[in-house]
């Protein structure tokens, strides 16, 4: 036996990965500490994987954790001693946060360094030097207000994150109070984790609070957290969302759960353009181009905002990133179910919105009953000989589409709909032509990007009310659509194995059900095709998150499909 082996539940690896053994009696105590400075990567049944990164260690340092306390936690629960190189790296990374600070001096913005030699070194880089406005003294330089975001980006790219202590503008005063009973007559109070999210975001008040990201699963009430932060700030608020449907859901929730009069809230979309003390708009509106410029980015400057809320913050498009760099004096809240971005720009979100303030895992909320339990099924489907020949002769891109639109999927879909008769079902797909065939053949209403906002709202409400039991939807329903009684999602096709999309589509059915029952997520895959290759990536993501994932090698092999 290894003489250095201990009885701890953690295996800390030199690549900054931390493995947590769930069978160990010290597991829960270790999990509570590790979650403060590492990000959960995967959560299969026996061993959970966490990963420390520069961003997670900087976020921990922002919350007051020292390198010493992090190392003590790891040493206390580690099965084997930590390597000296790892300990030095953690100490160096944590120590780099706060060496550079943005502060107010004599009414102006200044970049200060606890290490004057570091400031001298940074000034050798043109990307930093051009953003500074001259020396204030040996340990600080002036910074123009407009460069507050840009200097933070430049420094973090060089490995030196800036601690922003320059404070925030208050914005227009707007008293907002959360109701104890909603306008629709139901008792209302923040759940424990929602209250914790608000406090984590706000912690530190003027100096430290006011910018950061809250990560909660779909169905956990991210909108409620945003509204509670808005009430806490009591200031003019701009809310950015993924769709017009989401805009209207935010406005409905604000009206239902706060005392704010509706005449003080406004919708800024392609249909209506109102700028009110609380204005809700979409990323698409802000990135709409007119000639060489953007038509509506002026909205950021109007309204005397004291708070900007970024719903589905992982979707931030590049133009909004750039403009967010110019509004660093305004409090910023990011809300998301996953910080995963397929373009790898998580660091930009960290830099411009703020550090992650709180993350609550899907499985912990599922155990507590705040979101529904979910079963994930993958059904592999063959092709008719003629269609297989057509697939084999096609080019790479066409192959993916042919696999996605395999006509045999319709037979499986019909069988699943019969099995879940009485449940509310979403049929989801990537290709509108495929969805039109399904809707026409089965007589099911269809929502695509071309469906008007009013018609989408009417159909979503019909599904909520139970007037219809099934809806066919394109990717427009991936984000911010609240359909609490939808129990079943059947995915006909997706976007090249996108983990982000998989998380969002599963999220459509994770709201807790009135009867406490589970939710079912089906993915239909054409066997021995490009689609199967991409499905493995999505499958891995769901399994890593801890969801039960059942593969059916043939649609005829349905003995263990839900409801059989």
Burial class (CB in 10 A: 0-12, 13-18, 19+), 515: exposed
pLDDT reported for residue 286 = 81
Higher per-residue pLDDT: 31 or 495: 31
Range of weakest confidence among 267-281, 380-394, 546-560: 546-560
Contact 424, 483 (CB under 8 A): yes
Using a pLDDT cut of 70, give the percent of the chain over it.
Answer: 87
pLDDT reported for residue 249 = 85
Range of weakest confidence among 85-89, 167-171, 534-538: 534-538
pLDDT reported for residue 26 = 92
What's the pLDDT band for 564 if we cut at 50, 70, 90? very low
Range of weakest confidence among 25-29, 192-196, 391-395, 533-537: 533-537
421-451: per-residue pLDDT in tens? 989 999 998 889 999 999 999 999 999 988 8
pLDDT reported for residue 180 = 94
pLDDT reported for residue 238 = 94
Q: Could you state, in order of their start, the residue ranges of all structural domains in the chain?
A: 10-96, 100-164, 192-365, 372-552
Given a cut of 80, whether residue 288 has pLDDT beyond it is no
- Cα–Cα distance, 353 to 346 (Å, whole number): 11
- Cα–Cα distance, 194 to 362 (Å, whole number): 14
Question: Stretch 26-34: mean pLDDT, rounded?
Answer: 89
Of residues 308, 327, 249, the one with CA closest to residue 511: 249
8-24: per-residue pLDDT in tens? 999 999 999 999 998 99
Q: DSSP for 210-246?
A: SEEEEE--TTS-HHHHHHHHHHHHTB-EEEEESSHHH
- Laid out side by side, the sheet with 470-473 consists of 446-447, 470-473, 424-428, 486-491, 519-526, 374-381, 548-552
Question: Stretch 307-336: mean pLDDT, rounded?
Answer: 85
244-281: per-residue pLDDT in tens? 878 988 999 999 999 999 999 999 988 888 999 999 99
Domain 192-365, architecture per CATH: 3-Layer(aba) Sandwich (3.40)
Given a cut of 70, whether residue 205 has pLDDT beyond it is no
Of residues 66, 62, 139, the one with CA closest to residue 98: 62
What's the pLDDT band for 559 if we cut at 50, 70, 90? very low
Given a cut of 70, whether residue 554 has pLDDT beyond it is no
Question: Stretch 521-529: mean pLDDT, rounded?
Answer: 89
What pTM did the predictor assign?
A: 0.75
- Cα–Cα distance, 502 to 516 (Å, whole number): 23
pLDDT reported for residue 292 = 62
Question: Stretch 147-169: mean pLDDT, rounded?
Answer: 89
Given a cut of 50, whether residue 556 has pLDDT beyond it is no
Domain 372-552, architecture per CATH: 3-Layer(aba) Sandwich (3.40)
Higher per-residue pLDDT: 500 or 531: 531
347-380: per-residue pLDDT in tens? 677 788 888 888 887 767 878 888 878 888 889 8
Sequence-distant (6+) residues with CB within 8 A of 538 are 494, 497, 498, 499, 501, 502, 523
Helix (H, G, I), strand (E, B) or coil at 321: helix
Average pLDDT, the chain: 85
Question: Stretch 536-550: mean pLDDT, rounded?
Answer: 68
Using a pLDDT cut of 90, give the percent of the chain over it.
Answer: 43
pLDDT reported for residue 439 = 94
Largest CA distance in the chain: 78
- Cα–Cα distance, 529 to 399 (Å, whole number): 8
Domain 192-365 shares a fold with domain 372-552: yes
Domain 100-164 has CATH 3.30.70: yes
What's the pLDDT band for 480 if we cut at 50, 70, 90? low
pLDDT reported for residue 508 = 73
Contact 105, 167 (CB under 8 A): no
């Amino acid at each position: 036996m290894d003489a250095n082996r201990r009885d701890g539940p953690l295996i800390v690896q030199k690549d900054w990965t931390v493995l947590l053994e769930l069978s160990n009696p010290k597991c829960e105590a270790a999990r509570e500490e590790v979650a403060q400075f590492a990000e959960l990567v995967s959560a299969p049944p026996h061993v959970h994987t966490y990963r420390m990164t520069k961003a997670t260690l900087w976020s921990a340092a922002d919350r007051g954790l020292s390198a010493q306390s992090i190392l003590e936690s790891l040493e206390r629960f580690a099965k084997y001693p930590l390597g000296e190189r790892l300990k030095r790296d953690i100490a160096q990374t944590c120590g780099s946060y706060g060496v550079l600070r943005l502060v107010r001096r004599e009414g102006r913005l200044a970049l200060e360094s606890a290490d004057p030699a570091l400031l001298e070194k940074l000034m050798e880089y043109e990307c930093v030097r051009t953003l500074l406005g001259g020396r204030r003294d040996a340990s600080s330089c002036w910074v123009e207000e407009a460069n507050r975001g840009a200097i933070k980006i430049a420094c973090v790219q060089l490995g030196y994150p800036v601690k922003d202590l320059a404070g925030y503008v208050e914005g227009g005063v707007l008293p907002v109070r959360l109701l104890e009973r909603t306008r629709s007559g139901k008792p209302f109070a923040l759940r424990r984790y929602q209250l914790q999210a608000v406090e984590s975001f706000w912690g530190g008040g003027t100096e430290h609070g006011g910018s950061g990201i809250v990560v909660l699963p779909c169905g956990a009430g991210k909108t409620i957290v945003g509204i509670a932060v808005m009430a806490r700030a009591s200031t003019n608020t701009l809310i950015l969302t993924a769709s017009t449907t989401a805009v209207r859901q935010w406005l409905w929730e604000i009206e239902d759960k706060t005392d704010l009069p509706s005449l003080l809230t406004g919708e800024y979309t392609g249909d209506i353009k109102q700028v009110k003390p609380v204005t809700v708009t979409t990323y698409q509106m802000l990135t709409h181009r007119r000639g060489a410029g953007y038509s509506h980015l002026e909205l950021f400057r109007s309204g005397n905002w004291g708070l900007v809320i970024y719903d589905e913050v992982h979707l931030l498009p590049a133009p909004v990133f750039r403009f967010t760099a110019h509004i660093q004096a305004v409090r910023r809240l990011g809300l998301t179910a996953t910080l995963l971005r397929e373009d790898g720009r998580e660091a930009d979100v960290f830099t411009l919105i703020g550090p992650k303030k709180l993350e609550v895992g899907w499985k912990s909320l599922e155990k507590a009953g705040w979101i529904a339990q979910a079963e994930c099924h993958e059904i592999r489907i063959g092709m008719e000989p003629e269609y297989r020949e057509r697939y084999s002769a096609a080019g790479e891109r066409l192959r993916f589409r042919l696999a996605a639109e395999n006509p045999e999927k319709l037979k499986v879909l019909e069988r699943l709909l019969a099995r879940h008769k009485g449940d509310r079902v979403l049929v989801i797909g990537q290709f509108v032509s495929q969805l039109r065939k399904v809707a026409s053949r089965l007589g099911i209403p269809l929502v695509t990007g071309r469906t008007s906002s009013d018609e989408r709202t009417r159909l979503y409400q019909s599904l909520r009310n139970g007037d219809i039991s099934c809806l066919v939807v394109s990717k427009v329903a991936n984000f911010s659509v609240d359909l609490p009684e939808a129990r079943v999602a059947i995915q006909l096709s997706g976007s090249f194995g996108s983990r982000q999309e998989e998380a969002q589509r599963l999220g459509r059915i994770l709201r807790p059900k009135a009867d406490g029952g589970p939710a079912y997520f089906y993915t239909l895959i054409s066997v021995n095709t490009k689609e199967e290759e991409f499905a493995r990536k999505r499958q891995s993501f769901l399994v890593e998150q801890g969801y039960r994932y059942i593969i059916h090698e043939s649609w005829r092999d349905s003995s263990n499909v839900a409801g059989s």
